[in-house]
Chain A
Amino acid sequence: MSLISMMGALEIGLIFALVALGVLISFRLLNFPDLTADGSFPLGGAVAATLIVSGHNPWLACLIASGAGAGAGWVTAWLNVRLGILQLLASILVMIALYSINLRIMGAPNVALIGMPTVFAPFVDAAADNGWLIQPLLLAVIVVAAKLLLDAFLSSEAGLALRATGANPRMARAQGISTDRMTLAGMALSNGLIALAGALYVQTQGGADISMGIGTIVVGLAAVIIGETLLPPRSLWLITLATVLGALLYRLLIALALNADFIGLQAQDLNLITAVLVGLALILPRLKSRFGKRTGGTPR
């Protein structure tokens, strides 16, 4: 695998690290199985692309895109906590509604961003052709900042209330926490992050496409699960770190599998590889403990 294609994998991995952090909030911390991601990721992309094309500042476009994603997550949570619609179903409703909304926003199935100003543009030197290096670097800065901010929030009073809401809602209410409000806020945060990822994605890919959201949630979950097998969930910052690393590792493994000519895999095999990777990540802990026993290591 060439350095450039490796950096390309890293770049997408970093973007999906943001998705994975969002999925961590909904699935793991709030215990809310949420499929909105498949709609909020392209929503972020659609909003950002449309704003950039119409001449707005790309950073502002990212911000507004996150806000739109947060709104989508809020609606999913609202359908659940206020109207009592099953979590999974509520998120599916919002997801399919977003497909139409995204089309409306873009006005066409795709919007090209070639030659448009992006958040990366000021740092990229066209003559030196250094985009392959600059884009992952800037993304890395964004991801690290997002991780640190999330760590700080989750260890704050409100963040602790959010975690209690997912872990033991009855106890949380007995402590005076409005679990409804925490769910609304948490789901907004989760999908805001995912939409931010979508907004950055379209700026690395040179445009938005209506089908860009398909499978987002699977990739996010894959990253979370791989991360969980990677590092022990001893503390909060380790969990978010594992999630980020999980996303990176996932994309690198995909790139390796697709690049290894002797395996003969092609781009259309992506979903199959994902399934195999997540399957492996799920059984790995068991294999580890069995292996540990056989070699007389410390039993778990």
Chain B
Amino acid sequence: MMRADNLFKTFNPGTPLENPVLRGLSLTIESGQFLTVIGSNGAGKSTFLNAISGDVTPDSGSLFIDQQDVTRLASWQRAGLVARVFQDPLAGTCEGLTIEENLALAMQRGQRRGLSRAVKAAQREAFRDKLATLKLGLENRLGDRMGLLSGGQRQAVSLLMASLQPSRLLLLDEHTAALDPKTAAFVLELTDRIISENKLTALMVTHSMRQALDHGQRTVMLHQGRVVLDVSGEQRARMDVPDLLAMFEKTRGEQLDDDALLLG
């Protein structure tokens, strides 16, 4: 379970570049729920995910993961609770390290790291089996540098890394945006499989309304740093992309009217 309460975040406050990005964002995700998030560019989706992971500290508001108040924890302190896959395939892995070293790093997410060998022989077998499930032939390339892999391969490995350790929440920020359509479809399918196999609570940001409706059980729309639409269950099942688009346009219009009123 993840609960965000009334989050506010303004970048560059008190300067001409002042940019209020989160404006009272509240959202609760139940355990085991797979939520998709849509919203236009600059709506604050990435900032919200960064606030959950601890990369961004909110100005006010609070964040709970399973009853634990994590608002003030640094990102590395929350890593045991939160797993994530970045949009940029280069961001989620270390290209200078080998595939098995990257997996070993993720294997210990949120745990104490001591002086025993990082990559143990027994682990290597487990890594090989896990990589084999990707069907990318990576199981024979444990010692290859991560930098040698294509973007799609790296995202697939990133997903695998995110699932090596149990987490309370999986964050996916447009993790297929940098991939070609075929690879993107493959990575999405893998995402669904990993989330359902591990019964993960997940939050996936996407720009594709199709993806937003086809994956997960609930969809929310962010606009100007707030949740403006929240659909699930029956209502969502009956929805199609044009319906969502229409609602999207409608809220945007209303929002504009609101702002016009405020200004006027």
List residues of A whose CB falls within 8 A of some B CB.
153, 155-161, 163-164, 167-168, 170-179
Contacts and interface: CB of A to CB of B under 8 A. Distances in A.
Contacts of A177: 76, 79, 105, 113
B105 A156 contact: no
Interface string B84-110: 100000011111110001001110111
Contacts of B111: 176
B114 interface: yes
Given A159-B118, A171-B93, 16 more contacts: A155-B117, A157-B104, A157-B118, A160-B118, A164-B94, A168-B93, A170-B91, A171-B94, A172-B94, A173-B74, A173-B75, A174-B76, A175-B76, A177-B113, A178-B74, A178-B76
A198 B60 CA distance: 51
A209 to B, nearest CB: 37
11 contacts: A156-B116, A156-B117, A157-B117, A158-B115, A160-B118, A161-B113, A163-B101, A164-B94, A170-B91, A171-B92, A172-B76
Nearest to A177: B76
B241 to A, nearest CB: 32
A179 B93 contact: no
Contact of A174 (B79, B108, B117): B79
B76 A179 contact: yes
B80 interface: yes
Contact of B76 (A157, A159, A173): A173
A163 B55 contact: no
A160 B105 contact: yes
Contacts of B206: none
A164 B103 CA distance: 12
Contacts, number: 90
Nearest to A158: B113
Contacts of B84: 174
Nearest to B75: A173
Nearest to B53: A174
B145 to A, nearest CB: 9
Contacts of B105: 160-161, 164, 172, 175, 177
A172 B114 CA distance: 16
Contacts of A174: 53, 75-76, 79, 83-84, 92, 109
B115 A153 contact: yes
- Nearest 6 CB-CB pairings of A with B: A176-B79, A157-B113, A176-B110, A160-B118, A167-B94, A173-B76
A156 B114 contact: yes
Contacts of A173: 54-55, 74-76, 79
A160 B114 contact: no
Nearest to B92: A171
A237 to B, nearest CB: 13
B120 to A, nearest CB: 10
A164 B79 CA distance: 15
Contacts of B76: 172-179
B96 A167 contact: yes
Contacts of A168: 91, 93-95
Nearest to B83: A174
A146 B3 CA distance: 50
Contacts of A170: 55, 91
B46 to A, nearest CB: 13
A176 B84 CA distance: 12
A164 B97 contact: yes
Contacts of B117: 155-157
A158 B111 CA distance: 11
A175 B106 contact: yes
Contact of B95 (A153, A156, A167): A167
A163 B97 contact: yes
Contacts of B75: 173-174
A158 B108 contact: no
Contacts of A157: 104, 108, 113-118
B191 to A, nearest CB: 17
Contacts of B83: 174
A292 B232 CA distance: 63
Contacts of B118: 155-157, 159-160
